[in-house]
Amino acid sequence: MPAPIDFYFDFSSPYGYLASEQIDALAARHGRDVVWRPILLGVVFQQTGGQPLLNIPLKGGYARHDLARSARLLGLPFQLPSTFPFLSVAACRAYYWLHDQDPAGAVALAKALFREAFGTGGDIDSGEAVLRIAESAGVGVGGAGGAGEMAAALNDPAVKQRLRDEVSQAISKGVFGSPLFVVDGEPFWGHDRLDQVDLWLQRGGW
Amino acid sequence: MPAPIDFYFDFSSPYGYLASEQIDALAARHGRDVVWRPILLGVVFQQTGGQPLLNIPLKGGYARHDLARSARLLGLPFQLPSTFPFLSVAACRAYYWLHDQDPAGAVALAKALFREAFGTGGDIDSGEAVLRIAESAGVGVGGAGGAGEMAAALNDPAVKQRLRDEVSQAISKGVFGSPLFVVDGEPFWGHDRLDQVDLWLQRGGW
């Protein structure tokens, strides 16, 4: 069984959203699974001196245009949330908490969160918003405790630590942006590198 | 006759080099000409707060890897010059001076400069280097004054002003990086957007 593809992203990354709509199908064409790994770019940027793309003079205006254009090309709805960039801590915690019980459900939640944020321009930065989207998507709220379990997990010290560990591990592996894919040890950064990811999987490298 | 494609780049941009090896053929497939427009990214970065890609922690290391990998995919030689990033003022002045007498020769010079810098890792930051490459390529040194004419142009106040004007105009049009292409008013940034440039020309937009 070939190794899965690591898909690193921040829920606040609009190019991550575009990638989230494509990566599973792309991987499946090559018989690969995908491990979805949400991270906090803000923590990464403290080390790299990076800043949110859309805040950069000139480049930010271009990125808004490029995002809308790329979404149209893919046939995806696209709208920026009113609060942007936003903190994705709650979304990440919900994802990792759910992942440990129901990996497929966690990915479904991640897709629902991305669609809410960038497909319809909704805010997903609060715990309340994350719970509401989980309920809408019918994931992570089906246990005996219902939505209350997920609500508790968002403030669980173990879950908080789990997210810190995931972010630290990502940084130690050289992850510096979103989306970033690792295929058999080979890193590819950016939604616009998905074509190279596809070729790499097809040819086994070059 | 459809409008030409504007190709903005800095001679010190390795992704600009990759694009320089592809843009003319891509445009020709769609019956388009290309206007090559070298600029000085350093001046642009003073306004945008940008910094040379390869100097950024984590991202710089990735970019070196990505550049070599992308060049291999394209079948192009790739090596960074020992001095990098470098000042491309002399290269730009030589280009614009030559362009006004011999546009095709200026593009040939630009390609030769890019190949020297990133195909073989040679230094092209001095006037002497630019003159040597022009002589090797047999462009811009065939007039009555030979290479002396180009040498004089590199310090000609009118040529210096011409370059300043070109950079200012580029910034006023929103150019913030290299390579950047403008197709019928539509901007595309990055070597990895050439596939969208191709599609845009094919479909007339989307």
Interface of B with A (CB under 8 A): 44, 47-50, 56-59, 61-62, 65-66, 69-70, 72-73, 171, 174-177, 187-190, 192-193, 195-196, 199, 206
Q: How confident is the model at residue B56 (pLDDT cuts 50, 70, 90)?
A: confident
Tell me if B48 and A59 make a contact (CB, 8 A cut-off): yes
Strand, coil or helix: what is B146? coil
Half-sphere exposure of B78 (CA within 13 A, CB side): 23
| Cα separation, B73 vs A170, whole angstroms | 27
Q: Return the closest-CA partner of residue A177 out of B166, B73, B59, B165.
A: B59
Mean pLDDT for all residues in chain A = 94
Strand, coil or helix: what is B101? coil
- The beta-carbon neighbor of B56 closest among A49, A175, A206 is A49
Q: Using CB atoms within 10 A of its CB, is residue B202 exposed (0-12), middle (13-18) or buried (19+)?
A: exposed
Tell me if B66 and A189 make a contact (CB, 8 A cut-off): yes
Dig out the tokens for A41 from the structure: 């770019």
- The beta-carbon neighbor of A58 closest among B48, B59, B199 is B48
Q: What integer is the mean pLDDT of B85-114?
A: 96
In a mutational test of the A interface, the residue from B41, B69, B180, B194 whose CB has the highest number of chain A CBs within 10 Å is B69
User: A27: which residues sit within 8 A by CB, 6+ positions away?
Assistant: A4, A5, A33, A34, A201
Neighbours of B29 (CB within 10 A): 11
Q: How far is B50 from chain A (nearest CA, A)?
A: 8
Q: How confident is the model at residue A45 (pLDDT cuts 50, 70, 90)?
A: confident
Mind listing the pLDDT tens digit for each residue in A97-140? 999 999 999 999 999 999 999 999 999 999 999 999 999 999 98
Count Cβ–Cβ pairs < 8 Å, chain A vs chain B.
Answer: 76
In the predicted structure, residue B50 carries a pLDDT above the cut 80: no
Taken in order A155, A159, A161, A167, is the CA torsion positive or negative?
Answer: negative
Nearest residue of chain A to residue B182 (CA atoms): A62
Mind listing the pLDDT tens digit for each residue in B147-188? 899 999 999 999 999 999 999 999 999 999 999 999 999 999
Phi/psi for B36 (5° steps) reads -85, 130
Mind listing the pLDDT tens digit for each residue in B65-88? 999 999 999 999 999 999 898 999
DSSP code, position B4: P
Tell me if A48 and B59 make a contact (CB, 8 A cut-off): yes
- For residues A162 and A48, the model is more confident at A162
Nearest residue of chain B to residue A170 (CA atoms): B58
Q: Would you state the pLDDT for residue A50?
A: 75
| Cα separation, A114 vs B26, whole angstroms | 35
Mind listing the pLDDT tens digit for each residue in A52-79? 777 777 788 899 999 999 999 999 999 9
Q: What integer is the mean pLDDT of B46-63?
A: 80
Q: How far is A152 from chain B (nearest CA, A)?
A: 35
**A29-A34-A38-A41 Cα dihedral, nearest 10 degrees:** -60
Taking only Cα atoms into account, the Rg of chain B, rounded to an integer number of angstroms, comes to 16
Residues of B in contact with A170 (CB under 8 A): none
Nearest residue of chain B to residue A206 (CA atoms): B73
With vertex at residue A98, the alpha carbon angle to CA A96 and CA A103, rounded to the nearest 5 degrees, is: 90
Q: Would you state the pLDDT for residue B191?
A: 96
**Residues making up chain B, counted from first to last:** 206
Q: Return the closest-CA partner of residue A192 out of A179, A173, A174.
A: A179
Q: How confident is the model at residue B53 (pLDDT cuts 50, 70, 90)?
A: confident
Residues of A in contact with B56 (CB under 8 A): 48-50
Answer yes or no: are the C-beta atoms of A137 and A104 closer than 8 Å. no
Tell me if B206 and A72 make a contact (CB, 8 A cut-off): yes
State the SS3 of chain A.
Answer: CCCCEEEEECCCCHHHHHHHCCHHHHHHHCCCCEEEEECCHHHHHHHHCCCCHHHCCCHHHHHHHHHHHHHHHHCCCCCCCCCCCCCCHHHHHHHHHHHCCCHHHHHHHHHHHHHHHHHCCCCCCCHHHHHHHHHHHCCCCCCCCCHHHHHHHCCCHHHHHHHHHHHHHHHHCCCCCCCEEEECCEEEECHHHHHHHHHHHHHCCC
Answer yes or no: are the C-beta atoms of B51 and A56 closer than 8 Å. no
- The beta-carbon neighbor of A174 closest among B62, B69, B196 is B62
| Cα separation, A97 vs B1, whole angstroms | 59
Q: Would you state the pLDDT for residue A141?
A: 83
- Which stretch of DSSP H or E encloses residue B129? helix B127-137
Mean pLDDT for all residues in chain B = 94
Most confident range (mean pLDDT) of A136-140, B42-46, B111-115 is B111-115
Measure Cα distances from A204 to A24, A142, B62, B89 in Å.
Answer: 18, 41, 20, 41
Nearest residue of chain B to residue A178 (CA atoms): B59
- The beta-carbon neighbor of B174 closest among A58, A190, A192 is A58
Nearest residue of chain A to residue B173 (CA atoms): A58
| Cα separation, A53 vs A66, whole angstroms | 12
Q: Would you state the pLDDT for residue A35?
A: 98
Tell me if A59 and B206 make a contact (CB, 8 A cut-off): no
Q: Would you state the pLDDT for residue B47?
A: 79
Q: Would you state the pLDDT for residue A57?
A: 73
In the predicted structure, residue B58 carries a pLDDT above the cut 80: no
| Cα separation, A16 vs A180, whole angstroms | 8
Strand order in the sheet with B34-38: B34-38, B5-9, B180-183, B186-189
Nearest residue of chain B to residue A55 (CA atoms): B48
Q: Would you state the pLDDT for residue A95?
A: 98
Tell me if A72 and B190 make a contact (CB, 8 A cut-off): no
- Which stretch of DSSP H or E encloses residue B70? helix B59-74
Residues of B in contact with A196 (CB under 8 A): 69-70, 73
Q: How confident is the model at residue A142 (pLDDT cuts 50, 70, 90)?
A: confident
Q: How far is A145 from chain B (nearest CA, A)?
A: 42
